[in-house]
Structure 1
Amino acid sequence: MDKKKLSETDIITKFIMPAVLSAGWNLMKQIRQEVKLRDGKVIVRGQLGVRKTVKSADIVLYHKFGQPLAVIEAKANKHEIGKGIQQGLDYARLLEVPFIFASNGDGFIFHDKTNLTQLETEISLDDFPTPEQLWQKYCAYRGFTTAQLPLITPDYHDDGSGKEPRYYQLQAINKTLEAISNGQNRIILVMATGTGKTYTAFQIIWRLWKSRQKKRILFLADRNILVDQSKNNDFLPFGSAMTKVTKRTVDPAFEIHLALYQALTGPEESQKAYKQVDRDFFDLIIIDECHRGSASEDSAWREILEYFSGATQVGLTATPKETEDVSNIDYFGEPVYTYSLKEGIEDGFLAPYKVVRVDIDVDLQGWRPTKGQIDNHGELIDDRIYNQKDFDRTLVIDERTELVAQTITSYLERTDPMAKTIVFCNDIDHADRMRRALVNVNPKQVAKNEKYVMKITGDDEIGKAQLDNFINPKKAYPVIATTSELMSTGVDAKTCKLVVLDQNIQSMTKFKQIIGRGTRIDDRYNKLWFTILDFKKATELFADEKFDGEAVKIMVSTPEDIIDDEDGTFLDDLAGELAGNGEQTDATDDANNNVNEPEQDYNANQKDGEMGSDWGDDEEEKRFIKFKVSGVSVKKMAERVQYYDTDGKLVTESFKDYTRKTIQKQFTSLDDFTRKWNEAERKQTIIDELANEGVIWQALEDDISKDLDPFDLICHVAFDQPPLTRKERANNVKKRNYFTKYSQQAQTVLNALLDKYADAGVTEIESIHVLKVQPFNQMGKPMEIAKQAFGNRKGYDQAITDLEAQLYTATDAKAS
């Protein structure tokens, strides 16, 4: 056996795995091969999105399921023994493990972060460490005491399906348990929307509950949908030990309790159901979406947490609430783990976005009524200049609503009319009018199904009843949902492809939550990215350094200067209440309608939806009267498309610009490119490499021409060369009588291959599978053709190489 000729897979099978197994590692419980840690970032250009290819860790070793210890990176024997060490270090960084092994089958290079005197040593195949040796070194490295181990080492839940926590979920879970083992009882995890906070919470609870480290657990949320989604999905394995708190009764017969704040407390003492049990009844409380009502010190919901102050409390949030007078960090402490939207997009677990910014003339220039002008209802309109922040809040211009609806519809018509779409409006009244406008500009779609457009807000039982259908990928309708607050958080709409912003959003917290409605990926339904259609300049918040930075605690000494709460809900809710003829806004009404009879959300008068009693003055109410006018000329001034760039910023550039920059990074000049292209044994290799950098060939063909070969597309776009079509290149080869050196049978094959090239391109003729289709399948099987026409497979491959050299000969270039 010539070891140098063995593949990487052979090296793993014949040398590395035997060495690991002989050291005592359990094949079924402690060893996993081809561990894919990332999904591959999605690159978006035009209407296409493709995933970058990602490599998998060859072998990961575990102390037990869910507790990784080491990474092994293998290479073929023709490489140096330590060639894979840097790749292994990258995987180890994601898994946060200190042990990395690289091998080419001759032995191992062992990178040991616990050994600061000599980080890397070479060991033989026979000296691979045992599981106990690495575990002991790991515990010493992390400083674990014997007393901590019962909290750190409980088993994860394994349903046998192969599903397991992603690398960042592992880190979040393990860091939480480590913090608890160190005596920390206030913990917060910051994880971007769509990254699986509930599944992470389930595994934390499961490990502590099954090991009896925590015996009674409370999962708290402020929306019914959050409780029900958890109970019916991730939390199912708790079975009969789990209950949802209803009718203001805490049943001590159960160990896992899922509850709304509203079900546990109320303004009257008799409604404070949490007091039915002792203060030490719960020893673990998980607070979902803890950036909302539980954050504020004077929130009535906070009293639940304070009553069970002896329990370990873990907060989960995508957007830790940080305002001048409210700080979750102040209550929970610094996050033990943060996984941001940017990290999620880079890893390919979250969907990137493109932004279409639409500027409307009245938004930019403002609108002023004529002297003494009255609105559609006979109200005298206050004489001032109304601007973007006023529209649909204090002043309604019907033509503006119609223009927004038409712009949304036009976008869907030229992309996908059935793409799930959420339109965020200022309040319920605005959502009603937007639904009506969208219905009127989509008569054919609405005729097919009247649920094509639905208003889904807290005040509308019919609309709310359609929420499950909207978020269900298998249900086509509703397609477009107009809302204001109800769908801004807690709605797992995996296939939402369009998020429309026609709402004044000042709060970074709220902005992140709304953007999170589109960030989920669903490969099964081709949901890899989403579009944000922005009418209110809300996406300018992407440029704010706080958008994807670490949570920073902000506390100032002069909160009396603040006229609006950080979420913007104080004035939004008040405006909706007064402008909507007594209607409640989504945020408040959602709480009222999400609880079981007779539960109500008395907390509407607290922070995050406060209705202060000092706002009853007539003059103050007048400022929230909505004027409604028609007959105003409204038009679009500009429409700009921006893409999510590699650094997490939005860039405005055409796909051609992006392609040019990408190719010029790979190739220093036209000569450099043509030389590497001609030297490439398979052109497909270069094509794939560029595709992995975000050059989406289909989008480029759509943008320039479908008749050009990738070679000509590159020369034209990146180096301004006049291109030849595939048909022109094929005809040039035929004119040279180049085929006369081959037999008649070979000439027949090559001529047919040229025709295939003209139709489909170079990748078509590089695959041996081309010989399985017309007209080749009438000539025989692929190997028969290769043997009879070219002597053997090697002769056929050489003929293809020579054919490609003829196709791309320099003399074919068009004169500049």
Structure 2
Amino acid sequence: MGKTTSESDTRANFIDPKLKDSAWEPMHIIREYYFTDGRKLLGNKRGKRLFLDYLLKFKNVNLAIIEAKRLDDHPTKGLQQALEYADKLQINFVYATNGERIYEFDRRSGKGEYVKEFPTPQNLYDRLFGNQNQLKEQLRNIPFLLTGNFGPRYYQEIAVNKVMDNIAEEKKRILLTLATGTGKTFISFQIVHKLLQAKWNLDGNDRRPRVLFLADRNVLADQAINTFNPYEKDVVKIDGEEIRQRNGVVPTNAYIFFAIYQAIAEREDIGGYYKEYPSDFFDLIVIDECHRGSANEEGSWRAILDHFRPAVHLGLTATPKRDDNIDTYKYFGKPVYEYSLKEGIQDGFLTPYKVKRVTTNIDEYIHTSDSSILQGEIKKDRYELKDFNRSITINQRIELVANTILSLIGEMDKTIVFCANQDHALDLRDAINKHKTISDPKYCVRVTSDEGKHGRELLEEFQDNDRDIPVILTSSKMLTTGVDARNVRNIVLTTPIASMVEFKQIIGRGTRLFEGKDFFTIIDFVGATNLFYDEAWDGEPEDIDSGGDSTTMKTRPPKKPKVEDPEEPYEKKEKLIISLSSGRKIKVTDIDTRYIDENGKPLTAREFLEKLIGELPKIYRDEAHLRKIWSNPDTRASLLKSLGDLGFDNEQLNELRNMIATPACDIFDVLSHISFSSDLITRKQRVEFVKGDPKFFEVYKNLEARDFLFFVLQHYENYGIEELQRDKLGDLVKLKLGTSKDAKAAFGDMKTLLGAYYKLQENIYRAN
């Protein structure tokens, strides 16, 4: 019987009855529990999603997973994979069974053994938690507050539960480290919801807790307030306007308080509003982007936190900071849970990326007498990238950067340009608007702190996915953290980046998911992406002290120059402004496209695409074979159909082209480049090659015939291979020649016309 029993039959006839015998009710069992979305692939497709055969829950806790095999399989055949999933989901009990024998593995002891039956839910719960305190169980039992049809992602559930357990254990300093774009505000909302429902507070009275959500930017606080909409009546923002409306009295009649620390901290002219509250007023303080200074003993953050010392302090960050003056770990302790950028991309909750490293022939400046000094004076023999737009501005280089940005991005692709400071953001904005092709005055705008309310309005318009404009934002420091703009397709780096913390935050601006966004592009003019090769990239900061991975250490670039961090507003100093001599030709010397995997490792185009779409099918033997197939409309159509049958449809091929090259390239060149490392050329270059060979056209004596062939070439250049299909010939004849009678007059007969159409395509793809 076992030989013919499928895995689904085994589950239904053997495993399910055993679970029922052990008091597992349907409400406790989730079958085929998918917990990742699958890595983002090209053409809006997804990689393999991870799932469990069975997830066992009890009292709102994920207790165990079961890996099921067919009756005739060895019971522990899938155990290793199940253990990896259990590690990811932080579940301690793993069962492997073929319906007859049951193997139990306890990850806490690292040991396993065969058992006669599944334990009951209560038995397993007691084994896991023992005599835990009542509050811990109460907090776990409160369900998430969800709107819409979606549930929490697995790591969000783990993060919330970890914080609940630490609060129940009376820990006062708690840190969560989660990659940008993974929903830190959603997690903090669920934490606050559970505490409000449980009426948890520090003094043990019958009241709901008072929570302060502390951020360092209005845009972050306002985004968080929106997330807390279900508790709208219980929310208040502490700022000058609110306090003025209350005749100078700070608000106290709420449960959830939002503030940016600048609004409540001490200033030269007034005392800090935070001192108006008793030190034990708040039960919980949530510090968003806490790496930015909450642990700095000299900073305003620290004064506020010290005042509210009795409260539980929960830090949220994408990147803990460890240096001489800000040590997030020293203040909060090790994170109670971490979810990295690497995991987010692998699980399909964040978007993959590639890097275009741009170098120019003016990536350093040595002054000569033929260049004009428009302002300031020469103070150095040699100016480097780190000096550009800080101590020296070269007008022509700004123009070159602006033009290059426009050439490398899709015309309407949302793009954030990170600049050296606010003046540089103005210079680049103006240069982009000078060379753009879109007439809208808000195509490219600056968003920095100087713009105030108007800048925030422009940012909101940029974040609105239903609006096309603005397309490009130039900024300096304001947009490095927390700004949720999901449809960002390009991150442009035009100034060196001072730290790994800031680098991770900037890269995080592009990782958010959006429909039809398969990847985003980092365009780097300053070598900032060398930080991908640093051992601290997506790793623990303390790994640096312990030496890290020796293989990683070998590829580490020279030490990065220290760059001052002119947080807005910055002190404006007279800057050296140079205009190069009119005879000096400046240009981009190289654009090196680097495909970066989730570990920051640079990959070849083929390696990267194998991660995204799997290996390209072996439908063609070599470049000559591909060229021969592609040159003929009939065999090309068959090839495209074969690719489509294997999952490489038109949409995916076009996305592939956009990633590897530009829409101006032929799909043929993209396939040839991936498969055989051939050079990429554009359709325009192919057309120019054909036009430069008069022998082909001289065969056709009638000028109308030649004009028609030139017309076909132009159509191909403008619109691509779709215009070269066999069934397009009739439409092209109507557009240029008129009727079939006119076509015969031009070519002599239809057979000659068809031959010319096919021969033209051979010439197009003969171009190298």
1:55 CA displacement: 3.3
- What is the correspondence of 1:796-807 to structure 2 with a 5 Å cutoff? none
**Does structure 1 retain, via aligned residues, the 8 Å contact 2:429–2:444?**
yes
Give the aligned residue type for 1:655.
R
Query: Could you tell me whether the CA contact under 8 Å between 1:283 and 1:310 is conserved in 2?
Result: yes
Which shifted more, 417-426 or 35-44? 35-44
Match 1:239 to one of 191, 207, 232 = 232
**Alignment map for 1:49-68 (pairs within 5 Å):** 50-65=45-60, 67-68=61-62
For the aligned residues, what is the CA RMSD? 3.9
Q: Which residue of 2 aligns with 1:313?
A: 313
Shift of 1:33: 2.6
Instruction: Say if 2:339 is the partner of 1:388.
Output: no
Letter of the 1:245 counterpart = I
Counterpart mapping for 1:415-494 below 5 A: 416-443=410-437, 445=438, 447=439, 449-460=440-451, 461-494=453-486
Kindly tell me: are residues 198 and 183 of structure 1, through their superposed partners in 2, closer, same or farther at Cα, counting changes over 3 Å?
same
For normalisation by structure 2, the TM-score amounts to 0.73
Q: Is residue 588 of structure 2 the alignment partner of residue 636 of structure 1?
A: yes
1:354 positional shift: 0.4
**Alignment check: 8 A CA contact 2:490 2:521 kept:** yes
Q: In the alignment, which residue of structure 1 is the partner of 2:600?
A: 648
Map 1:695-706 to 2 at 5 A: none
Contact 2:156/2:187 (8 A) holds in 1: yes
Match of 1:101 among 95, 98, 104: 95
Q: 1:391 to 1:502 in 2, by over 3 A?
A: same
d(CA) in 1 for partners of 2:586, 2:667: 39
Partner of 2:728: none
Residue equivalent to 1:208: 195
Secondary structure of the residue aligned to 2:385 is: coil
Contact persistence 1:399–1:633 (CA under 8 A): no
Find out whether 1:89 has 2:115 as its counterpart: no
Match of 1:31? 29
Which ranges of structure 1 fall in alignment gaps of 5 or more residues? 556-563, 580-623, 671-685, 719-758, 761-816
Is the 2:477–2:568 contact (alpha carbons within 8 Å) kept by the matching residues of 1?
no
Equivalent residue number for residue 20 of structure 1: 19
Contact 2:265 2:274 in 1 (8 A): yes
* Cα distance change, pair 572–266 in 1 and its aligned pair in 2 (3 A): closer
Is the alpha carbon distance of 1:384 and 1:707 closer, same or farther for their aligned partners in structure 2, counting shifts above 3 Å?
closer
Give 3-state SS (helix, strand or coil) of 1:51's partner.
Answer: coil
Deviation at 1:159, TM superposition (A): 2.7
Match of 1:402 among 394, 399, 404: 399
Q: Report the counterpart of residue 627 of structure 2 in structure 1.
A: none
Deviation of 1:492 (Å): 0.6
Partner SS state of residue 498, structure 1 = strand
Over 3 Å counting, the alpha-carbon distance change for 1:162 and 1:122 in structure 2 is farther
Tell me the alpha carbon deviations over residues 564-589 of structure 1, each in whole angstroms, 9 at most, x when there is no partner. Answer: 99995545658x5314xxxxxxxxxx
| Change beyond 3 A, Cα 1:159–1:345 | closer
For the 8 Å contact 1:186–1:314, the answer to whether it is kept is: yes
Structure 2 letter corresponding to 1:549: G
Compute the displacement of 1:374 (Å).
Answer: 4.6
Letter in 2 for 1:303: A
Partner letter of residue 369 of structure 1? H
The alignment partner of 1:358 has SS state of: strand
1:74 alignment partner in structure 2: 68
Aligned equivalent of 1:543, options 494, 517, 533: 533
Q: Is the 8 A contact 1:508 1:541 kept in 2?
A: yes
- Partners of 2:145 and 2:193 within 8 A in 1: no
Instruction: Please give the alpha-carbon distance, in whole angstroms, between the structure 1 residues aligned to 2:263 and 2:457.
Output: 21
Q: Does 1:626 pair with 2:567?
A: no
C-alpha change, 1:204 and 1:700, in structure 2 (3 Å) is closer
Q: Amino acid of the residue matched to residue 24 of structure 1?
A: A
| Structure 2 unaligned residues grouped into runs of 5+ | 202-208, 244-248, 546-558, 622-641, 678-720, 723-768
Contact 2:414/2:488 (<8 A) preserved: yes
* Whole-angstrom distance in 2 between the partners of 1:566 and 1:208: 46
Aligned to 2:118: 128
Map of 1:53-452 to 2, 5 A cutoff? 53-65=48-60, 67-104=61-98, 106-107=99-100, 109-113=102-106, 119-123=112-116, 127-140=117-130, 145-146=132-133, 149-150=136-137, 153-159=140-146, 161-214=148-201, 215-233=209-227, 235-247=228-240, 248=243, 249-267=249-267, 271-363=271-363, 366-371=364-369, 374-377=372-375, 379-382=376-379, 384-412=381-409, 416-443=410-437, 445=438, 447=439, 449-452=440-443
Partner residue, 2:716: none
Measure the CA separation in 2 of the matches of 1:662 and 1:467.
34
Q: Distance in 2 between matches of 1:269 and 1:403?
A: 45
Q: Cα gap change, 1:640/1:100 in structure 2, threshold over 3 Å: closer, same or farther?
A: same
Change (3 A) 1:390 1:572: farther
* 1:654 aligned partner, one-letter code: A
Do the aligned residues in 1 keep the contact of 2:44 with 2:516 (CA within 8 Å)?
no
Q: Give the Cα separation in 1 of the matches to 2:180 and 2:134.
A: 35
Change (3 A) 1:476 1:322: same
Letter in 1 for 2:96: A
Cα-to-partner distance string for 1:299-319 (whole Å, 9 max, x where unaligned): 122111111111111111112
Deviations, residues 563-615 of structure 1 (Å, cap 9, x unaligned):
x99995545658x5314xxxxxxxxxxxxxxxxxxxxxxxxxxxxxxxxxxxx
Pair 1:656–1:222, CA change in 2 (3 A): closer
Note the C-alpha offset of 1:390: 1.7
Change (3 A) 1:19 1:512: same
The Cα offsets for residues 533-589 of structure 1, whole Å up to 9 and x where unpaired, read as: 00010001111111211133999xxxxxxxx99995545658x5314xxxxxxxxxx
The answer on whether the counterparts of 2:653 and 2:667 sit within 8 Å (CA) in structure 1 is no
Per-residue deviation, 1:154: 4.1
CA distances 1:494-534 after superposition (whole Å, capped 9, x unpaired): 11010000012121111111111011112xx2123210000
Q: Report the Cα distance in structure 2 between the residues aligned to 1:268 and 1:371, rounded to whole angstroms.
A: 48
**SS class of match (2:26):** coil
Change (3 A) 1:94 1:645: same
TM-superposed deviation, 1:139: 0.9
Query: Equivalent residues in 2 for 1:572-583 (5 A)?
Result: 576-579=570-573
**Partner amino acid for 1:544?**
D
* 8 A contact 1:85–1:109 mirrored in 2: no
Change over 3 Å in CA distance of 1:660–1:480 after alignment to 2 = closer
Report the 3-state secondary structure (helix = DSSP H, G, I; strand = E; otherwise coil) of the residue aligned with 1:194: coil
> 1:644-685 CA distances to partner (integer Å, 9 max, x unpaired)?
23643123x233897699999999xx9xxxxxxxxxxxxxxx
SS of the residue 1:112 aligns to: strand
TM superposition shift of 1:147: 5.2
Q: Answer yes or no: is the 8 Å Cα contact 1:372–1:381 preserved in 2.
A: no
Is the CA contact (8 Å cut-off) linking 2:37 and 2:347 kept in structure 1?
Answer: yes
Contact persistence 1:418–1:479 (CA under 8 A) = yes
Taking the aligned partners of 2:458 and 2:615, their CA distance within structure 1 comes to 50
Indicate conservation of the 8 Å contact 1:354/1:530, yes or no: yes
Partner SS, residue 325 of structure 1: coil
Partner of 2:752: none
TM (norm. structure 1) is 0.69
- Contact preservation (8 Å) 1:151, 1:180: no
Structure 1 residues 45-84: Cα deviation after superposition (integer angstroms, max 9, x where no partner): xxx675321232122111233x211112333445344433
Q: CA deviation at 1:209?
A: 2.3
